[in-house]
């Protein structure tokens, strides 16, 4: 992407899904810092309005409307409302997500459907609804926040990984399809990020033990990236229209090793899975991670994540519906 094709974000209209908390909120704030006008959505109206007020307090222009990305009709209405408000749509960021943590035998069909509906079909719904407006000016951008879980399927996160693999395929295909129309589609592949989101993960199996290892891993300083730094990288990639951006050295290493040694990585994943907590071999009810806090997960080992949770609105009382 040459410099002359970089997109000036000042005054541009940027839609961010799942923007009431976590990475979505950080991305919305980063776009606003570059002068963009925001249109944000999430499922929970109260949490969404809280995010709007905080963004506006920082000087952003924000349109906020509740929208369930799994509902194609609701998505069409949301996009129409954005265009009615601003008269245009320049950038779409698909960042809404959900996560069910636990052994595969504790997961249900509903868990798989929920993951696919939010993180694959939600991406498809928003992209197709926004596409006519993105094509109108010949310089639109679509940013799909996927995951290293869409390149390397980790144990205990199978519904999440399935949806992210599908989103990666859709995003890469759309990049090729839309290039001739001047619409650049960026696939974002984050590794572990410090967003405070583990407390909103739905946990199954041996729930305290599952939550403990996940919370510690998601807050480890040497292998995780701050959400704010990730958001700045995402905005830069969108501005330049990059095809793909991988966030974090561990994610780069994982992609490289999976490409070169897929069998070896699969064997290492199997070893890692055997080291994780066991659970009864049947579907089990889930609990939100924030209800499973212990002395270990509330220790200095997770201090970075707790501070991120306060900054990024990942409050314990919030639901885990991808808000």
Token code pair at residue 104: 């595969």
What is the rounded distance in angstroms from the CA atom of residue 121 to the CA atom of residue 149?
17
What is the rounded distance in angstroms from the CA atom of residue 252 to the CA atom of residue 186?
16
CA 111 to each of CA 98, 153, 202, 206, 286: distance values in angstroms, whole numbers, following the listed order = 10, 16, 10, 17, 10
Residue spans of beta strands (DSSP E) within 159-290: 184-190, 193-194, 202-203, 225-226, 244-247, 287-288
Is 160 known to be catalytic?
yes
What is the rounded distance in angstroms from the CA atom of residue 258 to the CA atom of residue 174?
23
Token code pair at residue 225: 């990236």
Catalytic residue from among 86, 160, 165, 211: 160
CB 234 within 8 A of CB 93: yes
- Based on the number of CB atoms within 10 Å of its own CB, is 97 exposed (0-12), middle (13-18) or buried (19 or more)? buried
Residues labelled as active-site residues: 160
């Amino acid at each position: 992407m040459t410099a002359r094709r970089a997109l000036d974000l000042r005054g541009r209209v940027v839609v961010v899904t799942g923007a009431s908390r976590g990475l979505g909120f950080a991305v919305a704030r980063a776009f606003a810092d570059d002068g963009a006008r925001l249109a944000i959505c999430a499922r929970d109206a109260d949490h969404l309005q809280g995010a709007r007020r905080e963004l506006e307090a920082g000087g952003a222009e924000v349109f906020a409307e509740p929208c369930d990305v799994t509902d194609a009709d609701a998505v069409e209405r949301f996009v129409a409302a954005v265009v009615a408000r601003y008269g245009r749509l320049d950038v779409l960021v698909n960042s809404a997500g959900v996560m069910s943590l636990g052994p595969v035998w504790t997961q249900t069909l509903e868990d798989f459907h929920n993951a696919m509906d939010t993180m694959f079909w939600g991406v498809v719904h928003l992209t197709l609804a926004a596409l006519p407006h993105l094509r109108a000016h010949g310089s639109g951008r679509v940013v799909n926040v996927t995951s290293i879980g869409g390149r390397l399927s980790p144990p205990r996160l199978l519904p999440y990984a399935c949806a992210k693999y599908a989103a990666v395929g859709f995003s890469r295909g759309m990049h090729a399809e839309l290039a001739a129309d001047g619409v650049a589609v960026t696939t974002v592949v984050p590794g572990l990020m410090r967003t405070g989101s583990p407390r909103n993960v739905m946990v199954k199996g041996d729930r305290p033990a599952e939550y403990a290892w996940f919370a510690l891993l998601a807050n480890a300083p040497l292998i995780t990236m701050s959400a704010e730094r990730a958001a700045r990288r995402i905005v830069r990639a969108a501005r330049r229209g990059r095809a793909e951006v991988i966030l974090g050295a561990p994610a780069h290493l994982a992609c490289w090793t999976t490409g070169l040694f897929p069998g070896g990585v699969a064997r290492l994943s199997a070893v890692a899975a055997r080291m994780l907590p066991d659970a009864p071999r049947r579907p089990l009810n889930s609990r939100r991670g924030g209800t499973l806090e212990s002395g270990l997960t509330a220790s200095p080992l997770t201090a970075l994540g707790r501070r991120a949770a306060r900054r990024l609105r990942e409050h314990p009382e919030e639901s885990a519906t991808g808000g």
